[in-house]
Chains A and B, each alone.
Chain A
Amino acid sequence: MTLTLILLAIGNTLLLMAIRSLRVQRLNERHALLFAAVGVPFLALAIWPDAIGWLSGRLGIEYQTVLLLAVTTFFLVMNFNLLSIVSIQERRITSLAQMVAIMAQKLSPNREHGQGRTSTLPIERDDGEANNKEVA
C-alpha cells in the first residue's frame, strides 16, 4: 500500500509538472509529452505493482534484469529524443549565425558590390571572453 501511494505521488507530480510547464509555456507540447511519459510508468506500476514480476515471469528473465532493461531503455529513448532536438537546434543556430553575418555584410556602409567589411556585435563566448569584431 505504501509503495502504491509513493508511486502514485511520483507519477502524478511528474504529470502535473508537465501540464503546468505546458500552461505557462515553459515547455512546448513535444517536450511536455516526453516529460509526461516519465510519469506514466509510475502510475502504471501503482495500478499494477506486480507488472515487472509478471513480465520477468513471461520472459524468463530475472526480476532485476527486467527492471534494469526497462530503466535503461527508457533513458536511452529519452537521450535519443533530446539529442535529436539538440542536433536540429544546432543546425538552426548555425544557419542563423550565417544569415546574420551575411546580412551584416550587406548593411555595411562601405559595401559596394562585393566589397566592404562588417562586424557583428560583440557576443559573449562560452569561456566568458567577449568576441569583439571590428566595426565598419
Chain B
Amino acid sequence: MAEPALKFVRGVVIIPAFNEAGSIARVVQDVKRAVPDFDIVVIDDGSTDATASCVPDWATVISLPFNLGIGGAMQTGYRYAAEHGYDVAVQVDGDGQHPASEIVGLVDALHESDADMVIGSRFLERGRYRQSAARAAGSRFLRLQLRMLTGRTYTDCTSGFRAVNRRVIRAFSHWYPDDYPEPEVVLLLHRWGFRVTETSVKMHQRVSGRTSIPLGRGFYYVLKVAVALFLDTAREPWPQGKVGPA
C-alpha cells in the first residue's frame, strides 16, 4: 500500500471562524489529532464572542480587524499559506461540520488524482448526506448551471471542505470571490485551466453557532451565486495578471 501523501508535503489547515466559540476548540483539536504534521491557522473573522481565545495555544490565530465574510477570511488564510510556502492547504469550517478524519483522504486524493483542487463531496455517494428539499433544489440548480458553464458535473459545488495545491494557493492569495465563494471558485479555476476533482466525504451536522446561509436567505444565495457565475464567464479570473494560466 502506498504511503499517505501527507507525509511528503508541508500542509496547513485553514479554519475560518466567525462567532464559533462553542465549537472551535474541538474542531482544532480534532484536526491536530487527524493531521499532526500539518500546521493549523484559524482565521477569526471579526468575531464578537471569545472565538480567538478558545483556540488552543499551539495553533495560529489570525484575527481580522473586522468581519470580511467567508471569502475575505478564506483569502487571508491563503495569503498566509502563500507567504509561508505551504505545498497543500485544506479548508475546514469552524463549525464542526467537516470531520477532521476525512482530511487525510482529501489530501491523498489531491496527490493521487494530480488535481489542483479536490472538493470533499457529500453527494458523490448517494444517501450519504441528507438535506432539506429547499437546499437540495438550490444545490441542484447551481450544479446544473455549473455543468452548463463548464461541461463538467460537480456533485457538491457548495462544499467548503477542500484541499488545494501550491499553485492554487498562489492564485487564491491574489484573488478570491467575496460572498458565497465556493461555486464561483470552481468556475474560475476551471476557466483558468486548473484541474478540479471531487472525492466522497461524510459530513456532520453543525456543533454550534449559526449557519452562514439561513434557510430564509437560501433563495437570495442561489440568485446571487447564479448571477455571479454568469458574470464570471465574462471576466478575467485573476484580473491583475499576477497568476498565469495553469
Chain A residues engaging chain B, CB cutoff 8 angstroms: 94, 97-102, 104-105, 110, 114-121, 123, 125, 129, 131, 133-134
Chain B residues engaging chain A, CB cutoff 8 angstroms: 12, 39, 41, 43-44, 46, 48, 50, 52-53, 55, 57-66, 68, 72, 75-76, 79-80, 83-84, 178
* A101, B60: Cβ atoms closer than 8 Å: no
Shortest beta-carbon contacts, A-B, top 10: A114-B39, A117-B61, A120-B65, A98-B76, A133-B63, A134-B53, A105-B62, A101-B64, A101-B62, A123-B65
Could you tell me the distance between the alpha carbons of A131 and B47 in the complex, rounded to whole angstroms?
8
Give me 15 A-to-B residue pairs in the complex whose CB atoms sit less than 8 angstroms apart, sorted by A's number: A94-B72, A94-B75, A97-B65, A102-B76, A102-B79, A105-B61, A105-B80, A110-B57, A116-B61, A117-B60, A117-B63, A121-B65, A125-B46, A125-B66, A131-B46
Q: Which residues of A contact B84 (CB under 8 A)?
A: 114
The residue that A101 contacts in the complex, of B53, B55, B63, B178, with Cβ under 8 A, is B63
The residue that B65 contacts in the complex, of A101, A105, A115, with Cβ under 8 A, is A101
Could you tell me the distance between the alpha carbons of A104 and B44 in the complex, rounded to whole angstroms?
13
Could you tell me the distance in whole angstroms from the C-beta of B188 to the nearest C-beta in chain A? 16
* A118, B68: Cβ atoms closer than 8 Å: no
Answer whether A97 and B68 are a contact pair too, CB < 8 Å, given A102-B80, A104-B63.
yes
Q: Which residues of A contact B61 (CB under 8 A)?
A: 105, 116-118
Could you tell me the distance in whole angstroms from the C-beta of A80 to the nearest C-beta in chain B? 15
Could you tell me the distance between the alpha carbons of A133 and B60 in the complex, rounded to whole angstroms?
14
Could you tell me the distance between the alpha carbons of A70 and B43 in the complex, rounded to whole angstroms?
49
* A134, B52: Cβ atoms closer than 8 Å: yes
Query: Which A-chain residue is minimally distant from B43 (CB atoms)?
Result: A101
Q: Which residues of B contact A125 (CB under 8 A)?
A: 46, 66
Query: Which B-chain residue is minimally distant from A110 (CB atoms)?
Result: B57
* A131, B57: Cβ atoms closer than 8 Å: no
* B60, A123: Cβ atoms closer than 8 Å: no
Q: Which residues of B contact A97 (CB under 8 A)?
A: 64-66, 68, 72
Could you tell me the distance between the alpha carbons of A124 and B61 in the complex, rounded to whole angstroms?
21
* B48, A119: Cβ atoms closer than 8 Å: no
Answer whether A101 and B59 are a contact pair too, CB < 8 Å, given A123-B66, A125-B66, A133-B52.
no
Could you tell me the distance between the alpha carbons of A114 and B14 in the complex, rounded to whole angstroms?
12
Could you tell me the distance between the alpha carbons of A125 and B72 in the complex, rounded to whole angstroms?
17
Answer whether A117 and B57 are a contact pair too, CB < 8 Å, given A102-B62, A129-B48.
yes
* A101, B76: Cβ atoms closer than 8 Å: yes
Query: Which A-chain residue is minimally distant from B83 (CB atoms)?
Result: A102
Could you tell me the distance in whole angstroms from the C-beta of A94 to the nearest C-beta in chain B? 5
* A120, B64: Cβ atoms closer than 8 Å: yes
Could you tell me the distance between the alpha carbons of A125 and B79 in the complex, rounded to whole angstroms?
24
* A105, B64: Cβ atoms closer than 8 Å: no
Query: Which B-chain residue is minimally distant from A130 (CB atoms)?
Result: B48
Q: Which residues of A contact B60 (CB under 8 A)?
A: 105, 114-117
Query: Which A-chain residue is minimally distant from B56 (CB atoms)?
Result: A117
Query: Which B-chain residue is minimally distant from A96 (CB atoms)?
Result: B65
Q: Which residues of A contact B53 (CB under 8 A)?
A: 134
Q: Which residues of A contact B76 (CB under 8 A)?
A: 98, 101-102
Could you tell me the distance between the alpha carbons of A133 and B48 in the complex, rounded to whole angstroms?
8
